[in-house]
Amino acid sequence: MKKRERVEAAIAGDAVDRIPVSAWRHHPVDDQSPEKFAAATLAFQREFDFDFVKVTPASSYCLREWGVRDSWRGHAHGTREYGAPPINNLEDWGKIAIYDPRVGDMGKVLLALELIGGQLEAGTPFIPTIFSPLSQARNLVGDVGLLSHMRQEPDVIRGALQVITEQTLAFLDACREIKISGIFYAVQWASYAHLSEVEYGVFGRPYDLQILRSVSDLWLNVLHMHGNDIMFEMATEYPAAIMNWHDMETEPDLLDGLKRWSGGVCGGIRQEATLAQGSADEVRNEALEAISSTGGRRFVLGTGCVTPIVTPYGNLRALRSVVEDEEASV
């Protein structure tokens, strides 16, 4: 099977020649240059030949024009650390405004996507990372500040979230010209550790749905539910082809997730304890267990979140090669 054919069949629960597999990582320092970022992403894909490419820029790419500043400090996940937030009081939310997504860091990511799409092996699906409006708002003001502002002046925050949503939609319009296969939609606050379902229903869900519905014609939209204690039942109502979550660290497990979600699921490997810190045999055994538990249907082998940049290549090769083994056949 070709990559798209394999992933589409897996999502539908149809027979596949082998289980599709993918993993993704940040490319720190390189992610500040579109040319270097594209080159690093392409090199990673050439090395492991995954079934789809998730393009992973620094999370600040959608916020720099609104004053966010961040820096590379050596985090094992390849993420950058944020400086002082540009939003300090309720009045500051009025300063964010829609801009041309082809300028600034959004423009750099668009160029990187164009370079990646133009140089990938023909037919390889690729999807950009899109952060939910609430996740973006959190990075503009900080966790405590966002909660405080949401509860003091909910209308102000809803207005700001709509601006963020419209900016994101403008970016997606530009992405469409590059022929992306879908999006990787990262939801980071749909967790009982942060909000109640009522709160997320006001400040998260309406904006998530605007974005996901805008790309409903694309075939490979991956919904990533980040963190522990996630609002999984709410997420099952979202339009996406695949759901990805920290299935090895929080409920539900993959089998229960498949029972509750109509699309495909992606996971099965602990990205830190197993992929980064374990052995190749441990990666293989965990992968085979995930394949067995799901029956290999509606399943993409992967991790619950981003692959740490300290991950041994031998472990990544084990992740990639296990799906080729006769023992993994379904």
Model confidence pLDDT, tens digit, residues 141-156: 999 999 999 999 999 9
pLDDT of residue 273: 98
Over the chain, what is the mean pLDDT? 97
* pLDDT tops 70 at residue 40: yes
- Give the pLDDT mean for 123-135: 98
* pLDDT tops 80 at residue 310: yes
Domain residues for the domain of 108 are 3-325
- Give the pLDDT mean for 127-137: 98
pLDDT of residue 297: 95
Count up the domains in the chain and report the number.
1
User: Exposed (0-12), middle (13-18) or buried (19+): which is 231, by Cβ within 10 Å?
Assistant: buried
- Residue 330 within any structural domain of the chain: no
* pLDDT tops 70 at residue 279: yes
* pLDDT tops 80 at residue 133: yes
- Give the pLDDT mean for 300-304: 98
pLDDT of residue 117: 98
pLDDT of residue 326: 66
Model confidence pTM above 0.95: yes
* pLDDT tops 70 at residue 184: yes
pLDDT of residue 329: 75
Residue % of the chain over a pLDDT of 90? 98
What digits encode the pLDDT tens for the residues 10-39? 999 999 999 999 999 999 999 999 999 999
* pLDDT tops 90 at residue 330: no
Higher pLDDT, 325 or 273: 273
pLDDT of residue 328: 74
Give the CATH number for residue 175: 3.20.20.210
- Residue 195 within any structural domain of the chain: yes
230 DSSP β-pair partners: 191
- Residue 190 within any structural domain of the chain: yes
- Residue 112 within any structural domain of the chain: yes
- Give the pLDDT mean for 98-127: 98
